[in-house]
């Protein structure tokens, strides 16, 4: 009996080990039915032994090969229990992930088959539950137990470069072994089982320039001296192969574009060693005279150069600047050129890189020779001096030679020069100039007192080329002669105190000197002033108010000139300190005996009389001047104050007509005025839908065209309230029935407050108390 047990255990072990693996995986037997016992009978060493036997599953996990595509379902494994001894009807039940769809179990034998093609990359393992039940009663004989079916990987996925294609850069002339970039490939196969996901990298295209580490996939420089100027871009093809790179492995590829970045390894180089330029001598300061360029095979900042003049004759005449856009050297003029002085220049120009590697040891510069030939230009005449200062007496006669200006043609040919005066600077044509020799003569008499200086502009022009013009300023000073007598600057008026003492200074007055000579005056000759002294103290305003003192002023010119001027002296009343208090005429009325208060009172009375007179005239003017003679009616103003008689005035206007426009069937003539003209009858009212606005417009038009109507500014009264209005007319004229015809029963419902109103309109509404 024991032998049968061991045989059963060996069978279970064989069926639970997957056929794809030779490694046995056996778990310890577990009891699946708690509290259940069974008696097993067997012989051990010839004796019959009664014991409690353990019943359970014998397995750990199962495996199934992915992507299996055989004609029959693949056997995954077999379940077996020690209760399956043949006497008890056993039934194996499978539940969990994929039970019944992906995995099927033989209820009698416990064999598990995979019904579908599995993919480990979609799902790597399945968790299921196994249970043993009675086939007849479906009662569980063991508790359920969980196990796992793992999908065994096969190499069915090639490596993939998810981030490809790649772009990388590395400086040119890098050392061998310099890292460029790293690529990464992924494999969807199981990295644990087998070599399906073990990748090896290699270069298919890109040797001998680059290499790649087969394990880390780092791309490196493999060739020394890779020059960007020779080749800038490389295309490298990288392969990743699984199965460790062995035969039968799957592979994937990607591309890496490697760009060599520039380093400053090339100096600038002039395209030629000698440059020759011809520059006209009249080239303006700062204007370009020529261009040179040094080419650099580098790019970007490494190709930028700067230019300098390092040698040559008179280097301060020229300068060279760098054009940032074209990287050219622009030769410019710093000083004017003169063909007659120097006809050629030789310069040495250098071009040097702005950025360079000092460790490289290479000279990142180049030089070239520049020869400049000065071209003769037709230059304008040149005056001997930029400004001429001349002098002439103011009494000089006409055609007097004031001075001479000279100019010459600086060209080698030496053209003759002609002179002219710019009349914009000599509007009065005071001077003339000889066109041949430049002599300036006087054309009109001069007056130093009017203009002391004359500034004119003289032009010099070549005879052969009139467009070459030069200008010079000529300042002519007019010299003074004694031709003006001295005189007072203004009409002076001095004062004298009537109670002053003899010898008191009355005032200081200055003479107006038109010449530059000092006056021979009584005193203070340095500032040309005089002092007037009183000889006695008998000056009184009552006797004489003003004195007119003639004064003769003489200069000491050659010949001497003199003039007579009058000084007005006014006698004034002063204080004891000599301060003037009053020089007016009011001083004469003070002896009359009237005080200042009396004068103010008289002035106030005069103003009061004027105000009363003004008010009286104002009132008299406001009274209307109307002729009230009844017989004289010519040009009389007739005043009308008639405002109408209201609703009782039924003769002038038919108010009912205004209140009901549809009730008019013809023209109703006025009763108070006899019309002089035959008036056309009105048209009947509008349709039933007429509104108030239309009604007013119609009546307004009729009133404007009615010759028998009242004056234009009369008031037109309209009682029409519109068609369809709920409210009736409030006018008593509109009432068509008497009070007895009205029904006032509704006042009964309004309460005691309307009792009195109801009594006024109906005697039956509120009967009197008995």
Fold of the CATH domain 382-479:
Immunoglobulin-like (2.60.40)
Query: CB pairs under 8 A, 24+ apart, for 552-556?
Result: 553/485, 553/486, 553/487, 553/488, 553/511, 553/519, 553/521, 554/486, 554/519, 554/520, 555/482, 555/485, 555/486, 555/513, 555/515, 555/517, 555/518, 555/519, 555/520, 556/517, 556/518, 556/519, 556/520
Mean pLDDT to the nearest integer, 145-161: 86
Band (pLDDT 50/70/90 cuts) for residue 524 is very low
- Considering only the top CATH level, what class is 493-581? mainly beta
Average of per-residue pLDDT values in the chain? 75
Which one has a higher pLDDT value, 107 or 422?
422
Architecture in CATH for domain 160-261: Sandwich (2.60)
DSSP 736: -
Domain ranges of the chain: 61-152, 160-261, 269-375, 382-479, 493-581
Dist CA 145 CA 152 (whole Å) = 22
Phi, psi at 692, each rounded to 5°: -65, -40
User: Residue 22 — pLDDT band, cuts 50, 70, 90?
Assistant: very low
Residue 530 has pLDDT above 70, yes or no: yes
pLDDT band, very low/low/confident/very high, at 436 (cuts 50, 70, 90): very high
pLDDT of residue 29: 30
Amino acid 51: pLDDT: 40
The 10s digit of each residue's pLDDT in 283-308 is 889 899 899 999 988 888 888 889 99
Name the CATH superfamily housing domain 61-152: Cadherins (2.60.40.60)
Burial class (CB in 10 A: 0-12, 13-18, 19+), 648: exposed
Label residue 15 by pLDDT band (50, 70, 90): very low
Share of the chain above pLDDT 90, in %: 26
Q: Of all residues in the chain, what percent carry a pLDDT higher than 70?
A: 71
Instruction: Taking residues 447-465, report their average pLDDT.
Output: 90
Region of poorest pLDDT, from 284-298, 342-356, 660-674, 716-730 = 660-674
In the predicted model, is pLDDT for residue 755 greater than 70? Answer: yes
Range scoring the smallest mean pLDDT among 44-53, 611-620, 671-680: 44-53
pLDDT digits (tens, 9 = 90+) for 211-261: 999 999 999 999 998 999 899 999 999 999 998 888 888 999 999 999 999
| Structure confidence at residue 135 (pLDDT) | 86
**Which pLDDT belongs to residue 607?**
93
pLDDT band at residue 425 under the 50/70/90 scheme: very high
pTM (predicted TM-score): 0.42
In this predicted structure, the answer to whether residue 342 has a pLDDT above a threshold of 60 is: yes
What pLDDT was estimated at residue 41?
31
Instruction: Considering only residues 58 and 476, tell me which one the structure prediction assigns the higher pLDDT.
Output: 476
CATH number of the domain located at residue range(s) 269-375 in this protein: 2.60.40.60
Q: Do domains 160-261 and 269-375 have the same CATH topology?
A: yes
Token couple for 596: 């200042």
Q: Which two tokens stand for residue 458?
A: 């003289």
């Amino acid at each position: 009996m024991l032998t049968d047990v061991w045989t059963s255990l060996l069978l279970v072990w064989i069926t639970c080990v997957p056929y794809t693996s030779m490694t046995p995986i056996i778990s310890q037997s577990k009891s699946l039915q708690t509290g259940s016992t069974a008696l097993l009978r067997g012989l051990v060493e010839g004796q019959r032994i009664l014991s409690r036997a353990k019943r359970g599953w014998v397995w750990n996990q199962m495996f199934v090969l992915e992507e299996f595509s055989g004609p029959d379902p693949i056997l995954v494994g077999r379940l077996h229990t020690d209760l399956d001894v043949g006497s008890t009807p056993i039934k194996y039940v499978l539940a969990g992930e994929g039970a019944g769809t992906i995995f099927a179990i033989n209820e009698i034998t416990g064999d598990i088959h995979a019904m579908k093609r599995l993919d480990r990359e979609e799902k790597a393992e399945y968790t299921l539950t196994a249970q043993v039940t009675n086939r007849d009663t479906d009662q569980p004989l063991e508790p359920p137990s969980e196990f796992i079916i793992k999908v065994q990987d096969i190499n069915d996925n090639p490596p993939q470069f998810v981030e490809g294609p790649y772009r990388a850069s590395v400086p040119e002339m890098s050392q061998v072994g310099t890292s460029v970039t790293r690529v990464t490939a992924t494999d969807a196969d199981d990295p644990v089982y087998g070599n399906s996901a073990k990748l090896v990298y290699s270069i298919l295209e890109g040797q001998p320039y680059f290499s790649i580490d087969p394990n880390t996939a780092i791309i490196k420089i493999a060739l020394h001296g890779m020059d960007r100027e020779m080749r800038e871009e490389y295309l490298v093809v990288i392969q990743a192969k699984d199965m460790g790179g062995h035969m039968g492995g799957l592979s994937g590829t990607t591309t890496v574009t490697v760009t060599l970045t520039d380093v400053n390894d090339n100096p600038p180089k002039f395209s030629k060693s000698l440059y020759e330029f011809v520059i006209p001598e009249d080239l303006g300061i700062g204007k370009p005279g020529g261009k040179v360029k040094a080419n650099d095979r580098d790019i970007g900042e490494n190709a930028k150069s700067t230019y300098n003049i390092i040698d040559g004759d008179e280097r301060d005449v020229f300068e060279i600047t760098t054009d940032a856009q074209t990287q050219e050297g622009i030769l410019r003029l710093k000083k004017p050129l003169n063909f007659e002085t120097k006809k050629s220049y030789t310069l040495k120009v250098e071009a040097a890189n702005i950025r360079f590697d000092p460790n490289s040891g290479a000279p990142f510069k180049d030089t070239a020779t520049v020869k400049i030939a000065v071209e003769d230009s037709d230059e304008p005449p040149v005056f001997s001096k930029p400004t001429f200062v001349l002098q002439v007496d103011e009494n000089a006669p006409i055609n007097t030679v004031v001075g001479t200006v000279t100019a010459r043609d600086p060209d080698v040919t030496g053209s003759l020069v002609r002179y002219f005066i710019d009349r914009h600077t000599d509007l009065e044509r005071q001077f003339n100039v000889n066109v041949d020799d430049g002599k300036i003569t006087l054309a009109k008499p001069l007056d130093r007192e009017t203009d002391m200086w004359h500034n004119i502009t003289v032009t010099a022009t070549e005879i052969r080329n009139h467009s070459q013009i030069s200008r010079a300023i000529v300042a002519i000073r007019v010299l003074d002669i004694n031709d003006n007598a001295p005189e007072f600057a203004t009409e002076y008026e001095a004062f004298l105190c009537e109670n002053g003492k003899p010898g008191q200074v009355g005032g200081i007055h200055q003479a107006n000197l038109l010449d530059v000579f000092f006056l021979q005056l009584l005193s203070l000759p340095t500032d040309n002033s005089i002092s007037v002294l009183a000889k006695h103290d008998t000056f009184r305003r009552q006797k004489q108010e003003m004195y007119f003192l003639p004064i003769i002023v003489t200069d000491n010119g050659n010949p001497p000139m003199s003039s007579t001027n009058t000084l007005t002296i006014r006698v004034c009343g002063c204080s004891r300190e000599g301060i003037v208090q009053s020089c007016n005429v009011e001083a004469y009325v003070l002896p009359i005996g009237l005080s200042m208060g009396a004068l103010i009172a008289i002035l106030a009375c005069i103003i009061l009389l004027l105000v009363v007179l003004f008010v009286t005239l104002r009132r008299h003017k406001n009274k209307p001047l109307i002729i009230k003679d009844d017989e004289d009616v010519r040009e009389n103003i007739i005043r009308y104050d008639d405002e109408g008689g209201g609703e009782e005035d039924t003769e002038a206007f038919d108010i009912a007509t205004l209140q009901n426009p549809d009730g008019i069937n013809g023209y109703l003539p006025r009763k108070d005025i006899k019309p002089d003209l035959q008036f056309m009858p009105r048209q009947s009212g509008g349709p039933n839908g007429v509104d108030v606005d239309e009604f007013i417009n119609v009546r307004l038009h009729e009133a404007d065209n009615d010759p028998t109507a009242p004056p234009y500014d009369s008031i037109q009264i309209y009682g029409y309230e519109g068609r369809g209005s709920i409210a009736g007319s409030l006018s008593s004229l509109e009432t068509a029935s008497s009070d007895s015809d009205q029904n006032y029963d509704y006042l009964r419902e309004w309460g005691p407050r309307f009792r009195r109103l109801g009594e006024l309109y109906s005697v039956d509404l509120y009967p009197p108390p008995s």
